[in-house]
Structure 1
Amino acid sequence: MTPNRTQVVVIGGGQAGLAAGYHLRRLGLDFVILDAQATPGGAWQHAWDSLRLFSPAAYSSLPGRLMPPQTGATYPDAQHVVEYLTDYEKRYELPVERPVRVLGVHRDGPLLHVETDSGTWHAGAVISATGTWWRPFLPAVPGRPEFRGRQLHTVEYRSPADFAGQRIIVVGGGNSGAQIAADLAYDSDLTWVTQRPPRFLADDIDGRVLFDVATARRRALDEGRTDVGGVASLGDIVAVPPVRKARDIGLLKASPMFRRLVPGGVEWADGTRVEADAIIWCTGFRPNLSHLAPLQLRGVRGHIATTGTHAVGESRLHLLGYGDWTGPASATLIGVGRPARDAAREIAQLLAAGS
């Protein structure tokens, strides 16, 4: 099969990939976005039914196009985000090919060779924007294989109707854990378990403030000033309305982490047990970077060192949207625009220098 050629290959057609496409288009570069999903919307199209953004629509926008408000909702739901991303892709006529799964990125002389399940691309630069949703993390808790009930991760949860009347343990003290626990608190026998006491942000703090704090922290670090902790210093859980409601009426009371799983439930260090029909692990994600393995850029803990968004060991590769290590708040809708712009500009300069 004859390889395709382009200046830039963007891997991933979710919010980070679309933001990259917007800025690459503005710079007049030739590029393609390869998306493994069959339809637009990235990971948002797979989220649970009640998921809400942390910020109002206007503060949850990609570059160039404000997200319209959702009727009757201050904080839009996941379906509204899918509709917005679908419209964004069409509005800017971004060249997305789907479904295309990238198998590996290889060095090929002056170009990078992007192998997919539908052909090969050669490009002068690659932006990896695959996110973390596809690599759910499950902790190594003793007894997990012995538990007789159902175990699922955040990515598999959809609706409280699936668990009505059941004994459910939700594990995780972040936003996903709090939102899913709040979802289940009314119609199931809920036990919410967290590694440390849950830390709710002040009720008036949402994604707008978090983005500003993350940006200020990155600026301080870049200028050699003291690290004041950024978003982590404020708390772990944004009190979106459903979480705030469940908390205020006493339905969100967390228990400390249990010691192990037993066939019928979980057991704490003092021997206390709670029976469970299902355990939902809201325990986070890891970057989905297996397609970059041929480049051999990972350190001893699997982390790819970056300066800004470009990989230290491969200047033709940029990583976008994986978290603060690839740009302040870059895993958020509002936060990904700036690092996407910086990545596009660096790539334009790199390609111009090599032409």
Structure 2
Amino acid sequence: MSKLVNYPVALPTASLPEDTDPVSVARDFTPRLYNLASQHFIPDALWRDLFALTGTLRTFHNASSVSSTWAETTKTRKVHSFVSDPEEARVVRLPQGSAWVEARYSFECGERPETRCTAILNLVRDQGDGEWKIWVLRTVLEGLKGMPDVEFLEPEKVRDEGKLSNGVNGHGEEEEFECVVIGGGLAGLSTGGRLKALGVRYLVLDKNERVGDNWKLRYASARLHTNREYGHLPFDRTFGPEYEEYLSKDDLAKGYTEWVKKFNINIWQGTSVESGTWDESRQLWTLNLRQGEDECSITTSFVVLAGGAGGQVPIFPPPYQDEEVFEGTTMHSAEYTEPSKWKGKHGVVVGTANTAHDVAADMVDTELASVTIIQRSRTYVLPAEHYFKIVTLNYNAQKPTHEADRGTLTSPFAVAELMSCATLSAMASKEPERFDALERVGFKVERYGNIQDHIVNRLGGHYMDVGASKKIAEGLIKVKSDALPVRYVKDGLVFSDGTHLKADLIVFATGFVGNMRRQVDQIFGTKVGDQVGDFWGLDEEGEIKGAFKPVGHPAIWLHGGTIGQGRYYSRFIALQIKARLLRTALPLYEKTP
């Protein structure tokens, strides 16, 4: 199992008494926050700051670097007014025995821009002196003082249900904006909504003809493999109990459409950005747009490229020989919709991540004569019900989504890795037969995988099991994992071990280019691309490269990722932009301790 960050990070080992009072622990620790020193941290402590004190996303490791950076940034930002929140103090216990007190505090920064922030502390007992010390510190920018709440937007009544008053599905009258968001999926819509909440003159551009087409146009069986409460857009519960627990692509498209209407989001559909240029003297972007046969240009101070972490460019394996002799059909999963025209014929899927399993299950349900999945490497299989048990602890009908996001999406990735691995591995160990059954039919399964690595480094490659694993174990989906294809023949594929596999339809579920840098190059040119740099994967501190934060160019942000990341981190992008429009940009702390 790969490790996300090469720093000494471990779950706490000291147990906590059952009668530990987290409210008292949190309250008594409050005075120390004004003058934290290295003795207030355990040696391998971590601090993750989300724009509160560093103006960006930073993770600091070990007591010395954390305490020295804390002292410098709290002084510079004139931090004051720490207040413990007794309702949020709690004891956290993991199945393998780790335990700590989680304490939450509000505080403010008095230096411009004046801000409201949250500090979340994971406190453990020092086994030597018995003192409460910080294992993990998180600080989160909540809002700009005197500005509207980025988590609230009043719904608007729209007279004409067919067309919104702001120019959705067509051009509006404005040609100059303070911020333009390129991409109308969840990340782009969330950013647009946050900008509107803050009073920014914004526009969302989307190449699709209708809101939600980024889901609507996917393969027929596409759906979320996470629970319904995780799928919301900001400000409300987009998907009520009338929706399925695992939202289908049509559910998502409907929910997005209704959300855009409810909040009257300014979006131009059917609009592609052909090119863009930056005018250094005017500090303005010019974006050249196309809508069908029409062309126009608009200007904006800031751009958010919300292309999605999955990218749009399909990846294929190295080509097999003799493709021209194959009499069947090949396609990437990006082109795949449903397999009914191949009923009674032979289907092959190359790849073993989520989409591959979905496609193979489709083929079985459509009664193809045979269905085979080609496995190129061992695959992490995460039972959806295991993940469901964890995710519903935070994402449920009782907890506001933004509070669930704050609790879940602010942890250092290395800590999230430790916690998820400990919990999910404990669950997997209790039902070995589930995985043994896959191994017996030739599927090479990783049962104790690292979901965080798949999310923040690999952009997928795992399978969240919503039923296809059972079809594999029962032989309804065959597995070829002992050799790879080398050449086509007219009725299928020949493998490196000489075996022949019949195929009428071959679907390459082999992923997409995930680096949004490619889109920057295409729209703005390689000079801007060089300034912006790469997108996704972790840097040396354990933060995602290029995402959500200032990059090498002063007027562009890259935004994408999981649904939770797209929704929650949009708030920070909007706050950064609003602060710059107020001429009080969040000051960047760029020192390396």
* CA–CA separation in structure 2 for the residues paired with 1:304 and 1:232: 15
CA separation of 1:254 and 1:218: change in aligned 2, threshold 3 A: farther
Residue 54 (str. 1) matches residue 225 (str. 2): yes
* CA–CA separation in structure 2 for the residues paired with 1:221 and 1:203: 21
The residue aligned with 2:475 is 250
Alpha-carbon distance, 1:163 to partner: 1.9
Match of 2:285 among 103, 109, 112: 112
* CA deviation vs aligned residue, 1:246-265 (integer Å, no higher than 9, x gap): 24533244222523231332
CA separation of 1:80 and 1:277: change in aligned 2, threshold 3 A: same
CA separation of 1:203 and 1:15: change in aligned 2, threshold 3 A: closer
The residue aligned with 1:66 is 237
Alpha-carbon distance, 1:55 to partner: 2.0
Q: Please, which runs of 5 or more residues in structure 2 have no aligned partner?
A: 1-172, 395-404, 422-449, 456-460, 537-544, 586-593
Other structure's SS at 2:297 match = strand
Alpha-carbon distance, 1:217 to partner: 8.6
Residue 6 (str. 1) matches residue 205 (str. 2): no
* CA–CA separation in structure 2 for the residues paired with 1:82 and 1:233: 26
Q: Which amino acid aligns with 1:199?
A: Y
Q: Higher mean Cα deviation, 118-127 or 147-156? A: 147-156
The residue aligned with 1:353 is 583
**Contact 1:8/1:124, CA 8 A, preserved across alignment:** yes
| Root-mean-square deviation (Å) | 3.3
The residue aligned with 1:268 is 495
* CA–CA separation in structure 1 for the residues paired with 2:359 and 2:297: 41
Alpha-carbon distance, 1:94 to partner: 0.5
CA separation of 1:286 and 1:337: change in aligned 2, threshold 3 A: same
The residue aligned with 1:303 is 534
Which residues in structure 2 correspond to 1:68-83 (within 5 Å)?
68-69=239-240, 71=242, 73-83=244-254
Which residues in structure 2 correspond to 1:215-234 (within 5 Å)?
219-221=411-413, 229-232=450-453
CA separation of 1:21 and 1:296: change in aligned 2, threshold 3 A: same
Residue 237 (str. 1) matches residue 463 (str. 2): yes
* CA deviation vs aligned residue, 1:140-182 (integer Å, no higher than 9, x gap): 2332743332111112222231221111110111100011111
Which residues in structure 2 correspond to 1:79-90 (within 5 Å)?
79-90=250-261
**Contact 2:486/2:493, CA 8 A, preserved across alignment:** yes
Q: Which amino acid aligns with 1:201?
A: L
Q: Higher mean Cα deviation, 256-265 or 80-89? A: 256-265
Q: Which amino acid aligns with 1:27?
A: L
* CA–CA separation in structure 1 for the residues paired with 2:264 and 2:192: 10
Q: Which amino acid aligns with 1:239?
A: D
* CA–CA separation in structure 2 for the residues paired with 1:39 and 1:313: 33
Other structure's SS at 2:180 match = strand
Which residues in structure 2 correspond to 1:175-254 (within 5 Å)?
175-186=354-365, 187-188=367-368, 189-206=370-387, 209=390, 219-221=411-413, 229-232=450-453, 236-240=462-466, 242-247=467-472, 249-254=474-479
* CA–CA separation in structure 2 for the residues paired with 1:221 and 1:206: 17
The residue aligned with 2:559 is 320
Q: Which amino acid aligns with 2:511?
A: G
CA separation of 1:144 and 1:194: change in aligned 2, threshold 3 A: farther
Alpha-carbon distance, 1:29 to partner: 0.4
Residue 172 (str. 1) matches residue 393 (str. 2): no
CA separation of 1:337 and 1:71: change in aligned 2, threshold 3 A: closer
CA separation of 1:217 and 1:36: change in aligned 2, threshold 3 A: closer
Other structure's SS at 2:209 match = coil
> After the TM superposition, which segments of 4 or more aligned residues of structure 1 sit over 6 Å from their partners?
214-218, 225-228
Residue 127 (str. 1) matches residue 304 (str. 2): yes
Structure-1-length-normalised TM-score: 0.84
Residue 100 (str. 1) matches residue 321 (str. 2): no
The residue aligned with 1:149 is 328
Q: Which has the larger radius of gyration?
A: 2
* CA–CA separation in structure 1 for the residues paired with 2:535 and 2:192: 23
* CA deviation vs aligned residue, 1:2-21 (integer Å, no higher than 9, x gap): 99211000111111111001
CA separation of 1:151 and 1:196: change in aligned 2, threshold 3 A: same
Alpha-carbon distance, 1:303 to partner: 3.0
Q: Please, which runs of 5 or more residues in structure 1 have no aligned partner?
A: 322-329
**Contact 2:195/2:574, CA 8 A, preserved across alignment:** yes
**Contact 1:200/1:237, CA 8 A, preserved across alignment:** yes
Structure number with the bigger relative contact order (C-alpha 8 A, sep ≥ 6) is 1
Q: How many residues align?
A: 342
Q: Higher mean Cα deviation, 245-254 or 80-89? A: 245-254
Alpha-carbon distance, 1:70 to partner: 6.5
